[in-house]
Amino acid sequence: MSTDLRDLYQEIILDHSRKPHNSGHLDEATCEAQGNNPLCGDRISVYVKLDGDRIQDAMFEARGCAISVASASMMTDMIKGMTVDDAKAAHARFLELITDDDPPQLADDDQLAALIGVRDFPTRIKCATLPWQTFSAALDGGADEVTTE
Amino acid sequence: MNVINGGYPIDEIRKDFPILSEQVHGKPLVYLDNGASAHKPSTVIEQIKRTYETGYANVHRGVHHLSQIATDAMENARRKTQDLLNAADEKEIIFVRGATEGINLVASSWGRANLKEGDEIILSVLEHHSNIVPWQIVAEQTGAIVKVVPIGDDGTFLMEDYKKLLSDRTKMVAVTHVSNALGTVVPVTDVIRLAHEQGAVVLLDGCQAVPHISVDVQALDVDFYVFSGHKLYGPSGIGILYGKEALLELMPPYQGGGEMIDRVTFEKTTYAELPFKFEAGTPHIAGIIALGSAIDYVTGIGFDAITAHEHDLLEYATERLQSMNTIDILGTAPEKAAILSFNIEDVHPHDVGTILDHSGIAVRTGHHCAQPVMDRFDVAATVRASFGLYNTHDEVDALIEGVRKVQEIFA
């Protein structure tokens, strides 16, 4: 496998896509939103349970590619226990990491590091960002479906 | 070039397409996305250049030399299209932007003039969105009802269900000639005959048929036929609507503007004769002329040879894929053309597409603008390899190798 392909499909990504964490409906969700990539038909629902301004629990249901499912799995792992502001900051940092020309430095143990390979696959960036966009929409009320287009 | 004796001249054909010698991610390009858009032979590319360098001006207007040259070249392309489809008259050939515009033209112009509440439009599950949405729009405007012919588990058009849907309420039957998502060839001769017995009009979407098989609109007795130039090795932005003269004559204009008028006053405007009534505005002049070159190119090879070559590739690719584990082929109708849709178990088509791309292999992944087909098979998307006249058995082997690599990564 070529190097950049291995960067994209790292073992951790494949693991998350095969056995996603936090997959399923969250009955006690206090907010939720739906996301859609009309170009490929991928769909995701993100459920969040807030306790004050803290994210007590987060789950998702997705029909999508390895990148979007792994991204959703890692995202829900990461945001659980965060405050809303910290989670929003994590979203902003994730976008910077995979889309900015001059991305911020990563710590070795950074939970977002696994998905940085997607930078080299411009057609796949939306797969990685859709879960985060949908999460963000859930926090904002989730009235309209999020779309990548 | 003519195929006379012996084999298909694949080496010569490949040399005619400059892009085929490009590399993608350091690998030779293996282009299997012809169903989305086909590449252009040098004759088409050169023709576009030559038009702008030596023969370009606006058409049907100027009295000057260049305008006359451009007009003649454009009308020559119309006659080539007439011959390609075996239309009875060149005025039955309308230049549009693409098949999508052709269908919208018929839905809007013919539909609004002929459909009323309770009338029925029959489509099939196989349709591309461009042969669904224009009919939904006109149905909403007129009160007509859209009915849908189902397909079998192998992707065949279910003729018995079609017969049950047909009635004297049926006014339009709009179906694809060849399915873009599955490759199914629809038995259009029977579809047309049965529709005509009920007094209905038939439109065929020929986008995936015209590049692969010989089409004779008079033998089919079809009322409207559309296709896009860019899938026939011509430029994008140019397409064809064929319509029977008697029908086109009775239809109101689709768009108003220059070129389509006879005389304009603020009291009353009279419209131009066919085909110009439907060609408002300055057309894609160089594109139309180059489409003529594309038609010369494919007819030079001949449809007997093209169909046989592509059929051979499709059979070979189908056999090789079928012999692999964890592969699900969607669309196994007995009659198919040039399209192979499949999924690899537990791997999303987008991941397949990205990995194949890294081997230089271009396939389409997604719903192929045919979401009802995806819903029918309960999948979000498929991987689609679609063949053209320049593809080879070696390229099929490369695809198979690529699929193996995907299976390894996701094992």
**pLDDT-wise least confident of A26-40, B3-17, B158-172:** B3-17
Using the Cβ of A1 and the Cβ atoms of chain B, whether some distance falls under 8 Å is answered with yes
* Inter-chain residue contact B349 with A39, CB threshold 8 Å: no
* Inter-chain residue contact A40 with B380, CB threshold 8 Å: yes
Q: What percent of chain A stands above pLDDT 90?
A: 61
Averaged over B268-292, what is the pLDDT?
A: 95
Indicate which residue of B369, B371, B377, B397 is catalytic. Answer: B369
**pLDDT tens per residue across span B177-202:** 999 999 999 999 999 999 999 999 99
What is chain B's mean pLDDT, rounded? 96
For residue A43, pLDDT beyond 70: yes
* Inter-chain residue contact A65 with B409, CB threshold 8 Å: no
DSSP state of B221: T
* pLDDT given for residue B108 in this prediction: 97
**pLDDT tens per residue across span B83-117:** 999 999 999 999 999 999 999 999 999 999 999 99
Most trustworthy range by pLDDT among A26-40, A84-98, A99-113, B193-207: B193-207
Confidence band (pLDDT; 50, 70, 90) for A5? confident
For residue B296, pLDDT beyond 50: yes
Of B292, B287, B185, which Cα lies nearest the Cα of B236? B287
Of B281, B271, B295, which Cα lies nearest the Cα of B78? B295
**Nearest residue of B to residue A41, measured between CA atoms:** B380
Using the Cβ of A12 and the Cβ atoms of chain B, whether some distance falls under 8 Å is answered with no
How many beta-carbon pairs under 8 angstroms link A with B?
Answer: 52
Q: What angle do CA B215, B220, B223 make, to 5 degrees?
A: 100
3-state SS, A37-48, equals: ECCCCEEEEEEE
> How far off is chain B from A4, nearest CA to CA, in Å?
9
Please report, for residues A145, B296, B366, the alpha-carbon distance to residue A38 in angstroms, rounded to integers and kept in the order given.
11, 38, 9
**Nearest residue of A to residue B406, measured between CA atoms:** A1
Question: Alpha-carbon distance B39 to B162, whole Å?
Answer: 36
* Residue among B24, B343, B346, B348 with most chain A CBs within 10 A, to mutate: B348
* pLDDT given for residue A104 in this prediction: 79
**Residue B369 annotated among the catalytic residues of the structure:** yes
* pLDDT given for residue A123 in this prediction: 86
Tell me the pairing of strands B327-330 and B339-344: antiparallel
Residue with tokens 């498929």: B382
Please report, for residues A59, B292, B325, B381, B383, the alpha-carbon distance to residue A1 in angstroms, rounded to integers and kept in the order given.
33, 44, 21, 25, 20
For residue B162, pLDDT beyond 50: yes
What is the ipTM for the molecules in this complex? 0.87
Count of C-beta atoms within a 10 Å radius of residue B324:
13
Question: Alpha-carbon distance B345 to B43, whole Å?
Answer: 42
* pLDDT given for residue A144 in this prediction: 74
Using the Cβ of A82 and the Cβ atoms of chain B, whether some distance falls under 8 Å is answered with no
Q: Is-contact A36 A145, C-beta < 8 A?
A: yes
DSSP state of A19: S
Count of C-beta atoms within a 10 Å radius of residue A61:
17
* pLDDT given for residue A111 in this prediction: 76
Q: What percent of chain B stands above pLDDT 90?
A: 92
For B348, the closest of A39, A65, A123 (CB atoms) is A65
* Inter-chain residue contact A1 with B409, CB threshold 8 Å: yes
Confidence band (pLDDT; 50, 70, 90) for A143? low
Averaged over B314-334, what is the pLDDT?
A: 97
Tell me the pairing of strands B201-205 and B170-176: parallel
Q: Is-contact A16 A73, C-beta < 8 A?
A: yes
**pLDDT tens per residue across span A99-127:** 888 887 777 677 788 888 898 888 889 99
Question: Alpha-carbon distance A62 to B86, whole Å?
Answer: 50
Which chain A residues are closer than 8 Å to B374 by Cβ? 41
* pLDDT given for residue A106 in this prediction: 76
* Residue among A7, A65, A69, A148 with most chain B CBs within 10 A, to mutate: A65
Domain ranges of chain A: 3-140
Averaged over B275-299, what is the pLDDT?
A: 97
What is chain A's mean pLDDT, rounded? 89
Question: Alpha-carbon distance A95 to B313, whole Å?
Answer: 43
* pLDDT given for residue B4 in this prediction: 46
B-contacting residues in A 22-81 (Cβ below 8 Å): 39-43, 63-67
* Inter-chain residue contact A67 with B351, CB threshold 8 Å: yes
**pLDDT tens per residue across span B219-243:** 999 999 999 999 999 999 999 999 9
Confidence band (pLDDT; 50, 70, 90) for B262? confident
* pLDDT given for residue A127 in this prediction: 92
* pLDDT given for residue B55 in this prediction: 95
Structural domains of chain B, ranges and CATH numbers in brackets: 10-41+302-409 (3.90.1150.10), 46-299 (3.40.640.10)
* Inter-chain residue contact B409 with A14, CB threshold 8 Å: yes
For A65, the closest of B350, B367, B405 (CB atoms) is B350
State if pTM tops 0.90: yes
Q: Looking at domain A3-140, which CATH architecture does it have?
A: Alpha-Beta Complex (3.90)
* Inter-chain residue contact A40 with B351, CB threshold 8 Å: no
**Nearest residue of B to residue A36, measured between CA atoms:** B380
For residue B1, pLDDT beyond 50: no
